[in-house]
Structure 1
Amino acid sequence: MPFTHLDIGGPVATLSLDHAGGNRINFDMRVELREAFQRIEESPARALLIRGEGGDFCLGGDIRDWPGAPAEFLRPKIQVFAEALDHLKRLPIPTIAAVQGGCIGGGFELALSCDLILAARSARFVFPEARVGIVTLQGGMMQIAERVGSAKAAEMVFRSEPATAEQMLQWNVVNWIVDDAELESQAAALATRLAEGPTKAFAATKALWRMQAEEGVKAAKAKLYDLSIPLFETEDARTALRAAAEAINSGKPFPKATFAGK
């Protein structure tokens, strides 16, 4: 049975986690996620929304598969999820995680691998790995440290205590909090808005951020004009700049641009 559902019926791709009992990430779901991100990259989608069915976004890895399994068996199985998350982070389109209820372990790492996190008030975030004597297997300890600093990261990773959506907002981990009843509609509206945006400019921005993270600020700045100046040659930018210049000359506010390129 499938544990995820991918809908690419329009400019927004929606990936739903659907594993009864908390959307735990078993070995089959890891493969499905990796394949889904490949399909999304090859599709005309201009934004990605990741959501979870039921009361929880994702309760992490399905550790019911793990007890007694030798390390040489577990490593390639677990590594599939690393490959999936790396592909997610490298997608050239904006990505959003809509989080409700539990967002735990690998589920938390999945959300952190998105560009934006929209959290319901019920959302609870935790890295429980220390409770069973392991580490955050997809580098979640590093992802969270980038956002909250090493001291707060140590607090979360070592204590394994859940943090509320409000705490995560204060610590710059989530972007917005909404009422649970509004999560679906607000997430869909945000994804649609981003899908209507300047996709090529978003892709260049994400590429520069990735280069900064992997190679440093100097390397990213060295490539800045190589990625940004060609945008002036796109029909999207030409049309939007012309309309903006005309608005300034006539004393009107900037018009809303329409971006067609991907």
Structure 2
Amino acid sequence: MNFVHLEFDGVIATMTLDHPGGNRINFQMREEILHTVERVAASDARVLLVKGKGPDFCLGGDIRDWPGIPAKDLRPRVEVFARAIDLLEGLAIPTIAVVQGGCMGGGFELALGCDLVIAAKSARFMFPEALLGIMTLQGGVYQLAERIGRAKALELVLLSEPTGAEQMAAWNVVNRVVDDASLDEAAHALAARLVLGPPDAYARTKALMQIWRDRGRAEARQQLYDMSMPLFDTPDVQSALRNAVDAVSAGLPIPKAHFPASRRVSEHDRKGRA
């Protein structure tokens, strides 16, 4: 039985968790998530949606697998999920977590590994690890701290209290909150909008943000023009610039450029900078 499904609608990829009873991430799912993200990385997809089937996005790791396993044996079986999230964060394309119901533990970390989070009003977010005497195993505490700061991240992780979607939006963890009935439609509309955007610019922007996160502002500034200026030599940007100049000269608003769906992100941008 497969617990993770990957579908393509043109250049929109959708990874769906499908484990009845809350999409709890068992050992097999960890491997499947990693392999699925690898497939997306090797594809022509220009946007990835990450979803959970059923009433909950994901209630976290399937702790039913864990009792009695020595830490030395448990570690490699858990660590594969960290590799999956690292690969997800490093994808050259925009990624969107589509969250309904419970989003907890490893499921919350999976959502935080995406670039954008769109959530139903009923969604609730929680790190329950402290209730078990353990830590956030995929780095959830620092993923959260990057978005809301150290103090608030520690509060949520140490107290293990559920937080609603509206509050998470106010804290800049969630990008958009929509009615439950509109979640899928809103998520696909957002993906369709991103598909029309510039894939090379998206890829390089994500790579620059990763440099900023990992090595700081000074290194990001050092590499900024090496990464950004080559875009001006592409036919897409030259065409968009000419159209923009014509509009400005005519006293019109700058038109939104649409970029060909056949565009494939270059290998340089797919991998980002070392």
TM range (shorter): over 0.9
SS for the counterpart of 2:9 is coil
CA distance in 2, matches of 1:238, 1:139: 41
The alpha-carbon deviation at position 11 of structure 1 amounts to 1.2
Q: Alpha-carbon deviation of 1:140?
A: 0.2
Partner of 2:269: none
Q: Structure 2-normalised TM-score?
A: 0.94
Show CA shifts across 1:89-115 (max 9, x none).
Answer: 000000000100000000000000000
**Alignment of structure 1 residues 25-40 onto 2, 5 Å:** 25-40=25-40
Distance 1:51 1:236 in 2: 32
Aligned to 1:174: 174
Q: Which residue of 1 aligns with 2:205?
A: 205
Q: How does 1:44-193 map to 2 (within 5 A)?
A: 44-193=44-193
- For residue 96 of structure 1, give the secondary structure of its aligned residue in structure 2: strand
CA contact (8 A) 1:105 1:136 kept: yes
Partners of 1:136 and 1:195 lie apart in 2 by 33
Aligned to 2:231: 231
Tell me how far 1:253 sits from its aligned partner: 1.5
TM-score (norm 1): 0.99
Is this contact kept in 2: 1:3–1:32, CA < 8 A?
A: yes
Partner Cα separation in structure 2 for residue 242 and residue 137 of structure 1: 50
Deviation at 1:129, TM superposition (A): 0.1
Which residue does the alignment assign to 1:242?
242
What SS class does the counterpart of residue 172 from structure 2 fall into? Answer: coil
User: Which whole-Å CA distance do the structure 2 matches of 1:41 and 1:153 have between them?
Assistant: 30
Question: Runs of 5+ in structure 2 lacking a partner?
Answer: 265-274
Give the structure 2 partner of residue 216 of structure 1.
Answer: 216
Q: How far did residue 242 of structure 1 move?
A: 0.7
Contact 1:127/1:136 (<8 A) preserved: yes
Segments of 5+ residues of structure 1 without an aligned counterpart are none
Is the Cα contact below 8 Å between 1:196 and 1:258 reproduced in 2?
yes
- Aligned-pair CA distance for 1:256: 2.4
**What amino acid does structure 1 have at the position aligned with 2:229?**
I
Does the Cα contact within 8 Å between 1:11 and 1:192 map onto a contact in 2? no
Contact 1:6/1:36, CA 8 A, preserved across alignment: yes
Aligned Cα root-mean-square deviation (Å): 0.8
What is the distance in 1 between the residues matched to 2:95 and 2:74? 29
Question: Which residue type is aligned with residue 81 of structure 2?
Answer: F
Structure 1 runs of 4+ aligned residues shifted over 6 Å read: none
Q: Distance in 1 between matches of 2:171 and 2:226?
A: 34
1:150, CA displacement in angstroms? 1.4
Amino acid across the alignment from 1:197? G
Deviation at 1:158, TM superposition (A): 0.7
Shift of 1:185: 0.5
Q: Which deviates more, 9-18 or 94-103?
A: 9-18
What is the rounded CA distance, in whole Å, between the counterparts of 1:196 and 1:30 in structure 2?
32
Once the two structures are superposed, what CA deviation does each residue of 1:224-254 show, in whole Å capped at 9, x if it has no partner? 1111000011111111111001100111122
The 2-side partners of 1:133 and 1:13 are apart by 37
Contact 1:131/1:160 (<8 A) preserved: yes
